[in-house]
């Protein structure tokens, strides 16, 4: 499967949606699904689904649909989930704790291999099968475990310092929940999820929605 052209971020963001729903179909014992049925489940037009998948090659069989297990595997290869990425989470408060116990990570090809915090009440605890270690030891653990992706759920005041330590230790990508823009080298991919912005957007649309 070779990419024929540059792929837009919108397409890349829809691929995990397809994959997640295909896993549900597998669990339900469904072997084949059409783009129409898949679109109904996801709220995406069948034309968009076909167009997205065409970016990566020919999938499915005309008049039949997509073979669920086969398309699952193909999307795994497109996204790179077969590489079994290792994750390190810095900040084991409520959000970090929930992420450490998020069972779907494993099914998606991600494995939590390091948990880090400064709170001595948390350090040493086993969370989701991984022992929380002092954030002072984070660089050593990242290097020892070969962790490639860092998740930051720390307070904003220390997020940049944590990111710097992750980058120095060899982290290749960072998913940050801290409400600030991180400064990292150009070769480090950063994705930022700001819940306050998301909630504010909902507030705007609810406030300005048209009356029926």
Parallel/antiparallel/unpaired status of strands 130-134 and 149-152: unpaired
Stated as kind and residue range, the H or E segment containing 160 is helix 156-169
Q: Tell me, what's the pLDDT at 104?
A: 82
| CATH architecture for segment(s) 9-81 | Orthogonal Bundle (1.10)
Q: Tell me, what's the pLDDT at 5?
A: 55
Q: Tell me, what's the pLDDT at 17?
A: 92
- Give the side-chain half-sphere CA count within 13 A for 127: 28
Q: Is 91 labelled as part of a ligand binding site? A: yes
Q: In the numeric block, which tokens belong to residue 211?
A: 């009356």
Q: Tell me, what's the pLDDT at 60?
A: 80
Q: Is 146 labelled as part of a ligand binding site? A: no
Q: Is 92 labelled as part of a ligand binding site? A: yes
Q: Tell me, what's the pLDDT at 2?
A: 44
CATH superfamily of 84-197: NAD(P)-binding Rossmann-like Domain (3.40.50.720)
Q: Quick one: which of 175, 169, 172 has its CA closest to 142?
A: 169
Pairs from 37-41 (Cβ < 8 Å, separation ≥ 24): 37/65, 38/66
Q: Tell me, what's the pLDDT at 111?
A: 93
Same fold, 9-81 and 84-197: no
Q: Are 153 and 99 in contact (CB under 8 A)?
A: yes
Q: Is 32 labelled as part of a ligand binding site? A: no
Q: Tell me, what's the pLDDT at 1?
A: 42
Q: Per-residue confidence of the chain (212 residues) as pLDDT tens digits? A: 444 457 888 898 899 999 999 999 999 999 999 999 999 999 999 999 999 999 888 888 877 899 999 999 999 889 888 878 999 999 999 999 999 999 888 878 899 999 999 999 999 999 999 999 999 999 999 999 999 999 999 999 999 999 999 999 999 999 999 989 999 999 999 999 887 888 888 888 888 876 55
Domain boundaries, the chain: 9-81, 84-197
């Amino acid at each position: 499967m070779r990419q024929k052209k540059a792929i837009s971020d919108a397409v890349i963001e829809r691929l995990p949606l397809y994959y997640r729903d295909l896993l549900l179909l597998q669990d339900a014992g469904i072997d084949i699904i059409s783009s129409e049925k898949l679109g109904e489940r996801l709220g995406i037009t069948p034309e968009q689904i076909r167009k997205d998948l065409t970016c990566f090659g020919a999938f499915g069989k005309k008049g039949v649909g997509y073979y669920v297990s086969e398309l699952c595997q193909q999307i795994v290869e497109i996204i790179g989930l077969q590489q079994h990425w290792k994750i390190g989470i810095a900040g084991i408060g409520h959000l970090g704790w929930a992420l450490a116990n998020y069972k779907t990570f494993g099914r998606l090809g991600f494995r939590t291999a390091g948990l880090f915090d400064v709170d001595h009440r948390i350090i040493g605890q086993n969370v989701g099968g991984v022992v929380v270690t002092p954030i002072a030891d984070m660089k050593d653990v990242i290097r020892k475990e070969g962790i490639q992706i860092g998740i930051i759920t720390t307070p904003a005041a220390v997020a940049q310092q944590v990111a710097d330590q992750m980058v120095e230790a060899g982290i290749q990508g960072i998913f940050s929940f801290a409400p600030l823009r991180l400064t990292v080298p150009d070769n480090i991919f950063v994705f930022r999820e700001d819940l306050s912005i998301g909630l504010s957007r909902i507030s705007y649309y609810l406030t300005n929605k048209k009356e029926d």
